[in-house]
């Protein structure tokens, strides 16, 4: 997989620190699953985080903390509950391993909901701020021109799109903030399917985008 667009350094540091939302973390993990470059950079980010932790001044435990933990280990509350192992999710070539448990089906078997003719979505319904969903755009169609009130990340799973920032193909990720405005256009002979995670609503610049925004939830 020839990946040309990667995650921002700040995003990798936030992921290593565990400070991203579930949707953002899922998208980052899905890209890293396919990208050896970002795997290496994540290891570097984790090393930086470890070095920072070593520089923190130690904090004294509350009186009796050790005795309380040892007492808990001697009770049933300290024993892990035995649970049957979950079956391994079925793997599909165009679905990264971290994403597979959330879908449990192939991309073509999902219950896609039509937004406008040629554009469909599948909402992962993760809750929390923003939205996390799959978008499926027919060849030659585009998402209305928009900016961002926060962060938006897009991971291409199948097909490709082009916008003001370049051409994005399977495995590529667009890691954008409020300074970027763009209009992705599906530019291959097949549907462009991408995973999108946002932490704030988009800011559509055209009338049509603003009219449909309440219905598409982005």
Distance CA 199, CA 132 (A): 9
pLDDT tens column, 172-208: 999 988 777 888 999 999 999 999 998 876 666 654 4
Q: Is 85 helix (H, G, I), strand (E, B) or coil?
A: coil
Q: Is the pTM of this model over 0.85?
A: no
Residue 61 falls inside a structural domain: no
In angstroms, the CA 177 to CA 41 distance is 20
- In a domain, residue 207? The reply is yes
The structural domain count of the chain equals 1
* Closest alpha carbon to 24 in 139, 175, 141, 136: 175
Token pair belonging to 108: 């073509």
211 lies in some domain: yes
Domain that holds residue 155: 105-216
138 belongs to a structural domain: yes
Asked if residue 206 belongs to a domain, the reply is yes
CATH code assigned at 205: 2.60.120.10
Is 183 part of any domain? yes
Q: Is 49 a domain residue?
A: no
CA dihedral sign of residues 87, 12, 202, 159: negative
Give helix then strand counts, H and E, for the chain.
6, 11
Tens of pLDDT, residue by residue over 6-64, are: 999 999 999 999 999 999 999 999 999 999 999 999 999 898 766 555 565 666 667 77
* 27 located within any domain: no
Quick one: which of 185, 183, 165 has its CA closest to 175?
165
């Amino acid at each position: 997989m020839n990946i040309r667009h990667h995650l921002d350094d700040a995003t990798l540091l936030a992921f290593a620190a565990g400070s991203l939302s579930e949707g953002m973390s899922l998208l980052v993990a899905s890209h890293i699953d396919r990208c050896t470059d970002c795997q290496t950079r994540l290891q570097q980010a984790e090393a930086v985080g470890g070095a920072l932790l070593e520089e923190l001044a130690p904090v004294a435990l509350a009186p009796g903390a050790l005795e309380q933990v040892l007492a808990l280990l001697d009770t049933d509350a300290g024993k892990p509950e035995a649970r049957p192992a979950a079956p391994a999710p079925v793997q599909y070539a165009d679905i990264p391993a971290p994403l597979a448990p959330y879908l449990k089906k192939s991309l073509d078997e999902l219950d896609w909901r039509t937004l406008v003719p040629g554009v469909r979505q599948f909402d992962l319904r993760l809750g929390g701020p923003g939205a996390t969903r799959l978008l499926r755009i027919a060849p030659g169609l585009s998402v209305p021109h928009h900016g961002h009130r926060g962060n938006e990340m897009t991971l291409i799973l199948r097909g490709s799109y082009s916008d003001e920032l370049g051409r994005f193909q399977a495995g590529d990720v667009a890691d954008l903030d409020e300074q970027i405005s763009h209009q992705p256009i599906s530019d291959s002979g097949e549907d462009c399917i991408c995973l999108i995670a946002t932490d704030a609503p988009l800011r559509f610049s055209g009338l049509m985008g603003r009219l449909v925004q309440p219905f598409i939830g982005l």
